[in-house]
């Protein structure tokens, strides 16, 4: 479906018909491969200690437990308001480590490139990978490149694995959630999903939604320092949105989650787009926003700790944990009794009229 | 947020609820015609607040739900043809035809594209001249003008690789069919606000005279819905049956003249099979003969399939009681398959799929027993 001509629409860089493009030969392990890696990839992303990627990276000895995660990243279009595939692939893995209670240290970077991708797009994405890695102070220590025939992938897929050091105190997880606990979010919800949807649909709204794509490590650290002993669970609310996280927690804890709609932080841009498209921001994806369950007595301190972090000024208490009831997740809207909040099923599709 | 919050004001909503309860001396049965209204009512629990006072029957105003299975089968057939790309709205892609949905067809290699607007499909056709783009057009008078504009745009551009599989439906003939059905219980209608934005409400004047039922043009927010209900029960209590416009910030008597012109230019009124209702006289729009090069039925020589020619054995049709739901004879939660065999992941019929479907509204907002 993706035609070469479409790429020029998605990339902020001007691309002409004779722009240099990635060919299958760039992935065949011979001279072109070597040059692509040595001249395009390594100078951009390799860390100071790992300037060449060996078969496996040898890293330093550390005296603590490790967290390991893997994530594959694909987004169409590759560039959207507030981010792109490159930064997304770093933040996604860093965030998985951060919410698992780890300090992100090392990443691997695997590229699966569609034949014909303009080289300048690859370079732009790699620059973004490098910027995000520097910001997160995580070293990219190993990688791999494959080029596949036209149509086999949508432009570019990136897989990153991450290794991090477990930090104490470690939140015990959703099984520890108790009735009376509070539920918090670190910022306005649904921004990433709406930003990508508008980039994909090509529709423009008066107020543009900017993706929240970013590292949640600073906000998790701030929480750990302030109220670490009292945290129950932390998750980044990616696909499935906040509702998806709460459904999982309800299942694991055996309790129900009661949300209060007027307390939800939602930007006007996201709200407007959701009203228009018939979506609920609670189901829409985030890429730099966390959901937190915490002992109610420490919820206010947690909010203050989150709001001290840049980008989390709108952190809010959005609900509380109740005994299992009419639904795993309920919501009290501006009018009427609490109603069940449905579990997200598949990607949200816009309504017809 | 402007234009939203003031119409969901909690104090005003409570006051309206009290007024409705104070007005009613016996329970009344109203039908909200549009699926968007059904979702608004259930989302805010208005149906629960009014239980015993006003019974709300959920009408057929869900474009996806009333789309005849034969039309979906035509779309599936086209999507599998070489060099054809089938474009439609996101909601439509999940609805099962007699052999799967457009989404499953796409997973099996069919060429299916989700678009936000019919004009996106025209743009795609313009930039991909080697493919024939069929826009699968569903919806009421609300979406019919946008499809019509797409046809006119394709004509202006001289495109030979764009056509429309038109399954547009007209709401008033369906209301006439419902009110005349022998088992009808509806005593008043909340007319679909967005449809009336296009059509106006002058046509309802004849309807209320003929059938002696009040019709109130109603919007979608809590206050809109409660005002519509209040107006309707006040009329019923006083024995009057008139057309009132309770959505005047969007609707006037004559509607959107430009949209109506475009509709008249592109379509002719036709009998249409509605899922659940069967053939409805004047119940749909077809592409005019002069524009038949943009009519996929004509371009691909498709034959209208009579309802009784569809394989009656398939489990889906046998078990889905969408017809009774769409005509207000069955509440989704009273269907034996609801939340059992029929879920949003494995829908037996369109009302469970569509974001405006009544079964989806119950799945979303109707309490479950326990975890």
The 10s digit of each residue's pLDDT in B151-168 is 999 999 999 999 999 999
**pLDDT at residue B315, as a whole number:** 41
**Is there a single domain that holds both residue A149 and residue A130?**
yes
Block residue for tokens 């996101």: B90
**Residue B344, pLDDT above cutoff 90:** no
Closest residue on chain B to A252 (Cα): B371
Coil/strand/helix, residue A29: coil
The answer on A133 and A31 residing in a single domain is yes
* B365 contacts A349? CB cut-off 8 A: no
- Asked if A350 reaches chain B (Cβ–Cβ under 8 Å), the answer is yes
Model confidence at A350: pLDDT above 50: yes
Reported confidence tier of residue A13, pLDDT bands at 50, 70, 90: low
B182: distance to nearest CA of chain A, Å? 31
Q: Are residues A90 and A188 in the same domain?
A: no
pLDDT tens sequence across B250-265: 999 999 999 999 999 9
Mutate to test the interface with A, among B119, B226, B353, B367 (most CBs of A within 10 A): B367
pLDDT for A352: 67
Residues of A in contact with B120 (CB under 8 A): 201-202
Helix (H, G, I), strand (E, B) or coil at B340: coil
pLDDT at B277 over 50: yes
Q: What are the phi and psi torsion angles at A231 (to 5°)?
A: -75, 140
Q: Chain A residue closest to B113 (CA)?
A: A1
From chain A, pick out residues whose CB is under 8 angstroms from the CB of B45.
335-337, 339
Region B25-30: what's the mean pLDDT?
Answer: 96
Are A273 and A296 contained in the same domain? yes
Q: How far is CA A50 from the centre of its chain?
A: 26
Whether residue A347 lies inside any domain: the answer is no
* Chain B nearest-CA residue for A253: B371
**Domain harbouring A157, CATH code:** 3.30.1330.10
Does residue A346 lie in a domain region?
no
d(CA B353, CA B367): 19
Q: What is the DSSP letter of A110?
A: E
A213 in a structural domain: yes
Pair (A184, A291) in one structural domain: yes
A211/A311 same-domain check: yes
Query: Mean pLDDT over residues A136-147, rounded?
Result: 95
What's the gap in Å between the CA of B1 and the closest CA on chain A? 7
Residue A241 sits in a domain whose CATH number is 3.90.650.10
Q: Does B336 touch chain A (CB under 8 A)?
A: no
pLDDT at B346 over 90: no
Is a pLDDT exceeding 70 seen at residue A353? no
Note every long-range contact of B290-298, with CB atoms under 8 Å and residues 24 or more positions apart, other chains counting.
B291/B151, B291/B155, B291/B266, B293/B160, B293/B163, B294/B151, B294/B154, B294/B155, B294/B162, B294/B163, B294/B164, B295/B163, B295/B164, B295/B166, B296/B74, B296/B78, B296/B134, B296/B163, B296/B164, B296/B165, B296/B166, B297/B74, B297/B165, B297/B166
All residues of chain A having their beta carbon less than 8 Å from the beta carbon of residue B140 are: 353
Mutation site, B11, B339, B367, B371, interface A, largest A CB count within 10 A? B371
Mean residue pLDDT across chain A = 91
Answer whether residue B308 shows pLDDT above 80: no
Does residue A350 fall inside a structural domain? no
| Confidence at residue B79, expressed as pLDDT on a 0 to 100 scale | 96
Q: Does residue A93 lie in a domain region?
A: yes
Asked whether residue A66 falls in the same domain as residue A132, the answer is yes
d(CA A336, CA B13): 9
Q: Which residue has the tokens 């002719």?
A: B268
Cβ–Cβ below 8 Å for A352 and B116: no
pLDDT of residue B63: 86
**A306-322 mean pLDDT:** 98
Concatenate the DSSP letters of all residues of B176-223 into one string.
HHHHHSTT----EEEEEHHHHHHH-SHHHHHHHHHH---EEEE-SSHH
Residues of A in contact with B365 (CB under 8 A): 339-340, 342
Q: Does A353 map to a domain?
A: no
Taking the C-alpha atoms of residue A108 and residue A209, their distance in angstroms, rounded to an integer, is 30
Q: How confident is the model at residue B98 (pLDDT cuts 50, 70, 90)?
A: confident
Q: Which residues of A touch B43 (CB under 8 A)?
A: 333, 339
**pLDDT tens profile B164-214:** 999 999 999 999 999 998 889 999 999 999 999 999 999 999 999 999 999
Domain ranges of chain B: 69-170+255-309
Predicted pLDDT at B305: 63
With bands split at pLDDT 50, 70 and 90, how would you rate the model's confidence at B345?
confident
pLDDT of residue B195: 97
The partner residues of B273 in beta bridges, in order of sequence, read B279
Select from A268, A328, A351 the Cβ nearest to the Cβ of B91. A351
**What mean pLDDT is predicted for residues B324-344?**
88
The answer to whether residue A256 neighbours chain B at the CB level (below 8 Å) is yes
The count of domains in chain A is 2
User: What's the pLDDT band for A87 if we cut at 50, 70, 90?
Assistant: very high
In angstroms, the CA A36 to CA A38 distance is 6
Radius of gyration of chain A from Cα atoms? 21
Give, in words, the CATH class of B69-170+255-309: alpha beta
Range of the domain at A333: 174-340
Q: Please say if the pLDDT value at position B361 is more than 80.
A: yes
Confidence grade of residue A346 (pLDDT, cut at 50, 70, 90): low
Q: Name the residue with tokens 């700790």.
A: A305
Give the mean pLDDT of B37-47. Answer: 91
Interface check for B194 against chain A (CB to CB < 8 A): the answer is: yes
CA torsion A41-A99-A196-B133 (nearest 10°) is 90
Same-domain check for residues A240 and A311: yes
Higher-pLDDT residue of B1, B70: B70
The reply to whether residue B49 touches residue A336, judged by beta carbons under 8 angstroms, is: yes
A44/A37 Cα distance (integer angstroms) = 10
* Final residue belonging to a domain, choices A166, A182, A209: A166
B302 token code pair: 């498709």
Note the pLDDT of residue B312.
Answer: 46
Nearest residue in A to B12, CA atom: A335
Under a CB-based contact definition with an 8 Å cutoff, are residues A138 and A107 in contact?
yes
Note whether residue A349 is domain-resident.
no
Q: What is residue A10's predicted lDDT score, i.e. its pLDDT?
A: 52
Is pLDDT of B369 > 60?
no
Q: To the nearest whole angstrom, how far is the Cα of A293 from the nearest Cα of chain B?
A: 19
Please, what is the Cα angle at A298 between A295 and A301, to 5 degrees? Answer: 150
State whether A143 and A192 are in the same domain.
Answer: no
Residue A18 has pLDDT above 80, yes or no: no
d(CA B53, CA B26): 7
pTM of the model: 0.85
Rounded CA separation B58/B75 (Å): 28
Closest partner CB to B365 (pick from A324, A328, A340): A340
Contacts of A216 (CB under 8 A, 6+ apart): A94, A95, A98, A99, A186, A236, A288, A289, A290
At A212-262, the pLDDT tens digits run 999 999 999 999 999 999 999 999 999 999 999 999 999 999 999 999 999
Q: How does the average pLDDT of chain B come out, rounded?
A: 91
Residue A299 and residue A259 share a domain: yes
Give the C-alpha distances (Å, rounded to integers) separating A82 from A131, A312, B135: 14, 16, 32
Residues 45-64 of B with CB under 8 A from A: 45-46, 48-49, 63-64
- Structural domain ending residue among the three candidates A105, A140, A166: A166
Nearest-angstrom CA–CA distance, A195 and A267: 12
CB B71 within 8 A of CB B363: no
From the number of C-beta atoms within 10 Å of its C-beta (0-12, 13-18, 19+), residue A205 rates as middle
pLDDT at A14 over 80: no
The 10s digit of each residue's pLDDT in A170-203 is 999 999 999 999 999 999 999 999 999 888 876 6
CB contact under 8 A, A337 and B48: yes
Predicted pLDDT of residue A49: 82
Q: Is A242 within a domain?
A: yes
Split at pLDDT 50, 70, 90, the class of A3 is very low
Complete DSSP assignment for B46-104: HHHHTTTTEEEEEEEE-TTTTB-HHHHHHHHHHHTSTTEEEEE-HHHHT--BBTB-HHH
Q: Look-up: residue for tokens 């998790």? A: A220
Q: What is the mean pLDDT of residues A70-95?
A: 95
**A194 and A246 housed in the same domain:** yes
Of A108, A138, A166, the residue that ends a domain is: A166
Best of B90, B104, B192, B196 to disrupt the A interface (most A CBs within 10 Å) is B90
Q: Identify the pLDDT of residue B64.
A: 85
Q: So what's the pLDDT on residue A8?
A: 43
- Sequence-distant (≥ 6) Cβ neighbours of residue B258 within 8 angstroms: none
Positive/negative CA dihedral, A145, A151, A156, A158: negative
- Between A250, A334, A353, which is nearest B139 by CB? A353
């Amino acid at each position: 479906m993706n035609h070469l001509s479409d790429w020029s629409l998605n990339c902020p860089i001007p691309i002409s018909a004779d722009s240099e493009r990635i060919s299958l030969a760039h992935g065949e392990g011979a001279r072109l491969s070597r040059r692509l890696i040595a001249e395009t990839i390594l100078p951009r992303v390799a860390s100071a200690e790992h300037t060449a990627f060996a078969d496996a990276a040898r890293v330093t000895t550390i005296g603590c437990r490790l967290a390991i995660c893997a994530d594959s990243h694909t987004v169409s279009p590759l560039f959207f308001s507030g981010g792109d595939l490159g930064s997304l692939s770093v933040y996604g893995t860093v965030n998985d480590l951060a919410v698992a209670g780890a300090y992100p240290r090392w990443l691997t970077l695997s590229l699966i490139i569609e034949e014909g991708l303009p080289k300048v797009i690859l370079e732009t994405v790699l620059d973004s990978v490098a910027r995000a890695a520097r910001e997160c102070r995580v070293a990219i220590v190993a990688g791999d490149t494959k080029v596949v025939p036209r149509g086999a992938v949508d432009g570019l897929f990136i897989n990153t694995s991450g290794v991090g050091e477990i930090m104490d105190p470690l939140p015990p997880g959703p099984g520890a959630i108790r009735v009376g606990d509070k539920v918090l979010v670190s910022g306005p919800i649904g921004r990433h999903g709406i930003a990508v949807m508008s980039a994909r649909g090509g529709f423009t709204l008066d107020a543009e939604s900017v993706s929240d794509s970013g590292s949640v490590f600073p906000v998790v650290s701030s929480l750990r320092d302030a109220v670490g002993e009292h945290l129950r669970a932390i998750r980044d609310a990616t696909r499935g949105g906040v509702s998806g996280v709460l459904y999982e927690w309800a299942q694991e804890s055996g309790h129900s989650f009661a949300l209060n709609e007027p307390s939800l932080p939602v930007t006007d841009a996201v709200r407007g787009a959701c009203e228009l498209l018939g979506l609920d921001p609670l189901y829409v994806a985030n890429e730099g926003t966390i959901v937190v369950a915490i002992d109610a007595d420490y919820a206010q301190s947690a909010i203050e700790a989150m709001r001290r972090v840049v980008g989390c000024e709108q952190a809010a208490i959005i609900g509380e944990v109740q005994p299992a009831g009419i639904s795993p997740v309920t919501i009290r809207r501006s009018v009427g009794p609490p109603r069940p909040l449905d579990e997200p099923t598949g990607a949200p599709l816009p309504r017809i009229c | 947020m402007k234009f939203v919050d003031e119409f969901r004001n909690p104090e005003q909503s409570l006051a309206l609820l009290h007024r409705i309860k104070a007005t009613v001396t016996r329970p009344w049965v109203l039908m909200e015609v549009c699926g968007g209204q059904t979702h608004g009512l259930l989302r805010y629990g208005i149906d629960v607040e009014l239980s015993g006072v006003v019974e709300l029957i959920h009408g057929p105003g869900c474009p996806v739900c009333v789309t005849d299975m034969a039309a979906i089968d035509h779309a599936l057939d086209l999507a599998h043809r070489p060099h054809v790309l089938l474009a439609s709205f996101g909601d439509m892609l999940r609805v099962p035809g007699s052999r799967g949905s457009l989404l499953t067809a796409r997973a099996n290699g069919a060429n299916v594209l989700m678009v936000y607007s019919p004009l996106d499909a025209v743009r795609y056709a313009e930039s991909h001249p080697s493919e024939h783009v069929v826009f699968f057009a569903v919806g009421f008078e609300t979406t019919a003008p946008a499809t019509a504009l797409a046809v006119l745009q394709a004509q202006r551009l001289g495109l030979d690789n764009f056509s429309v599989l038109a399954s547009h439906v007209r709401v008033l003939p369906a209301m006439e069919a419902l009110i005349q059905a022998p088992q009808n219980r509806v005593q008043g209608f909340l007319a679909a606000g967005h449809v009336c934005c296009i059509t106006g409400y002058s046509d309802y004047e004849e309807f209320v005279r003929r059938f002696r039922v009040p019709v109130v043009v109603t919007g979608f927010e809590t206050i809109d819905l409660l005002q519509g209900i209040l107006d309707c029960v006040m009329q019923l209590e006083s024995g009057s049956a008139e057309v009132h416009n309770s959505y005047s910030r969007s609707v006037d008597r004559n509607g959107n003249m430009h949209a109506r012109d475009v509709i008249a230019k592109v379509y002719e009124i036709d009998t249409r099979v509605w899922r659940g209702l069967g053939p409805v006289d004047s119940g749909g729009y077809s592409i005019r003969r002069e524009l038949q090069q943009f009519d996929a039925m004509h371009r691909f020589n498709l034959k209208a399939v009579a309802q009784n020619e569809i394989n009656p054995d398939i489990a889906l049709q046998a078990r889905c009681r969408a017809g009774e739901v769409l005509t207000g004879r069955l509440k989704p939660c009273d269907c034996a398959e609801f939340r059992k065999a029929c879920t949003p992941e494995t829908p037996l019929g369109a009302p469970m799929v569509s974001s405006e479907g009544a079964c989806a509204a119950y799945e979303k907002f109707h309490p479950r027993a326990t975890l």
